[in-house]
Every structure is written in C-alpha cells, then in structure tokens.
Amino acid sequence: MKKYFTMDDFNFRGKVVLVRVDVNSPIDPISGSILDYSRFEAHRQTLAELKDSKVVILAHQSRPGKMDFTSLRAHADIFTKILHKRVRFVPDLFGEYAIEEIENMKCGDYILLQNTRFYSEEYCLKKNNFKDTHIVRELSKVADYFINDAFAAAHRQQTTLVGFAEKLPMIAGRLMEKEIKMLTKFMELKDRPKYAILGGAKVEDSLIVAKNFLENDIVDAILTGGVIASIFLIAYGIDVGDGTWEFIKREFDDYNSLISLAKELLDKYKGRIKIPVDVVINKNGRRKGIPITMLPSEYPIYDIGLDTATEYETMLRNSKGVIVNGPMGVFELNDFFVGTVMVLRGAAESSGFKVAGGGHTIAALEKYGLKNYFDHISTGGGSLITFLSGGKMPVIEALEKSYNIFGSK
C-alpha cells in the first residue's frame, strides 16, 4: 500500500517547488573549493525534471563551529555546471529578500537559498514545533509543493527536513524514492542465502546493524572485516595484541561496552557472525599475513587474510542478496587492499541483489571499477545505518504524514 507521494503524482509545470537536497560536501580548507561533486550528481534527475517549474533549492553545509561551515555560493556554481542551467545563489533563507526573489521567478528559473544551518530555527527549540517556525511559515506562503530528496539527512529531525509536511504536500524526490525502494527491497528480500558485509571503523554502527539483521532474520550471516572484525576477535577470546589494542583504546572510549555487545551477539547467534581465520598485520609498513592462532602481535591488524578473503569471496559469489558497508582493511595503502578487493569482487560477481553504502565502500568500488556491478549505491551515511538498524527515520515519517494529510485532496 502506498505510503508517500512521489513526483509522478503531480504536475509541477509553472509551480513554485521547494526542493530540499543534501549536498554537504568536503571542502578544501585552503582554497575553499568543493572537492567532491557526487552528492550534486545524485540530485540531477530530480532537479532536471523540474525544468518547467520555479525551483527553490534548500541545502546545508557542515554545522556551526566546523571549518567548512560556509555559505552555499560555491554550491550554486556546482549545480550550474551539473544542470547546464544557471542556478542563482540568494544569500537569504526566509527574509524579505528571499521571498521577493522567489516571487519574481519565472518558469525554468533555479535559485539556491542560504545554508539552512546559518539559522537557529533549523534546530527547532521545541519538539514538533517545526511547522510554526518563520522558515516554514514564510516559505510555505510562496510555494506550491515541497520535494524532499535529502536521503543522506533523512535520519535528522530538523526544520527544513520535516517542517513542511503539514503545510505543503511533501513529496519524495527521485533519489529519495530510489533509496527507500532499493533498501526496502534488500531488507524484505526472501531469496537465500543473503549476507551483510560489515567493515570499516564505525564499530557501534556496525554492531547495531548486525543486531537488527540477526534479530529479524534479515540475513543468514554477517561477514566482518576492518576494526569491527578486531572487536569480534577480542569478544571471541582472541588477544589481538598491543598494536591493535592501542588503536581501539585511542578511538573508542566505550570499547568495553562494544566488546560486551559483540560477545552477546556471538553467543546468541552462533555460527552466523563470520570472523577472520587469518589477518594481515602492518609490520613496519609491509604486509604480513598470519593465522589468528599466531596472535597477539605487536603490530596492528590492517586487513583480513587470504584464507578469510577467499572464504568470504566464495560465499558472496553464490549469494542471492548482499549488502556491503565498510572495507575489510586499510585499502588506501597498496599493501593492504587485497581483502577489500576480493570481497567486493565476490559480491560483484553474485547474480543476486547487491547494495553498497558508506563513503569508504563507495571509494573502494570506484577505485577498483566495481561500482556498476551493484544494483544500488546508497548516498546515505548515518541515514543508511539508521535505516538498516531499524531506527527512527523522521523524514520518511514526515513523508507518510504529509501523504495522510493531503492524499485525499
């Protein structure tokens, strides 16, 4: 049963359309130039389809106190290049200047308003008070529709993300629609075997996702790599050695609770969490593979070993569903990329439904030319983790709320 509006439900020709995107991007601290255009590209289809409308783009960059917390003037220039259509920057969000600029727009015009996080109302003072902010009140007066395409921020409850749901029909943009459909498809896929590859250094996130996947029988097994694998090795009773322990203690204040949760999952779901049988240590910058029986080591673990990578690769090649979130090791260094490549290659060669997400995962897929072998590459970071862990997604809830309010109209 349909739960939210999509762009197919409306004719936007001649209408004023607010479009919330997420183009929060890395910025060179010296030159101030934007270093990665991928998030801009992700919104191309949504914005291009509105070429006969009056398009008012809302977006944020970073947060107060950060070095890259800046105006969106440069972002407007990137959108201009991406769309081959001038996107004019307006250094105001909901004041008289912004409202006048919107009222003077012609069909086919695009403007980008100021960084939404420049305004305290973006972080609403009272819970569920978003619709009463000046931002929502003023902009909803001059707009016909609100399209939310900011999946990467869908786990946030902020004014320009959820506040328009009761004032205007809130509609999923093409990117938002695709993300929800493809991730839901993976979660509900009945074909087996089905695996999740969890790697990288975001240990708490990976543990929460693993818990949800196993509790709800979403996957048959979790394949671990990176720092999360080291946590599971410790939880299994393996002394990984000072080299790896020093990193864990430095990076995670709550490492004891993380290890306790990992042990709880290992005990409860015996055989369904795969941990490495061998690892690669960084011995003075050089690769050295050892079985876990040779641990502890004074050198840090930098990759899964060849035996582990071969086992994972074989499992994935025969899978009917795979989701990848995180690399198997420090793939950026030439001596420690093998585990990541083998695992990604195994997933890519599967005939099943394949999803990948996370910044480092996408970087690895691009580096090794495997991106096009996946059915879906998610733009989400925290939002992807929240979705996969079954957490609260305020933007999706707002889409459903708006559908209930305006659907009958």
Annotated binding site for (2R)-3-phosphoglycerate: 39, 117, 156
CA distance 82 to 86: 10
Q: What is the number of other CB atoms lying within 10 angstroms of the CB of residue 286? A: 10
Answer yes or no: are the C-beta atoms of 24 and 152 closer than 8 Å.
yes
Q: Is the peptide bond before 193 cis (omega within 30 degrees of 0)?
A: yes
> Tokens 């949760």 appear where?
261
Binding positions for ATP: 332, 358-361
Binding positions for substrate: 22-24, 39, 60-63, 117, 156
Query: Which residues have CB under 8 Å from 210's CB, separation 6+?
Result: 196, 198, 222, 265, 273
Binding positions: 22-24, 39, 60-63, 117, 156, 332, 358-361
Answer yes or no: are the C-beta atoms of 163 and 132 closer than 8 Å.
no
CA distance 117 to 160: 9
Answer yes or no: are the C-beta atoms of 176 and 400 closer than 8 Å.
no
CA distance 65 to 28: 16
CA distance 28 to 47: 26
Measure Cα distances from 38 to 6, 151, 206, 239 in Å. 23, 14, 24, 41
Among residues 282, 193, 196, 281, the alpha carbon closest in space to that of 233 is found at 281
Phi-psi map region of 369: left, alpha, beta (phi>0 left; psi -120 to 50 alpha): left
Answer yes or no: are the C-beta atoms of 279 and 303 closer than 8 Å.
yes
CA distance 45 to 40: 10
C-alpha angle 308-311-313 in degrees, rounded to nearest 5: 105
C-alpha angle 235-307-256 in degrees, rounded to nearest 5: 15
The number of residues in the chain equals: 409
CA distance 355 to 334: 26
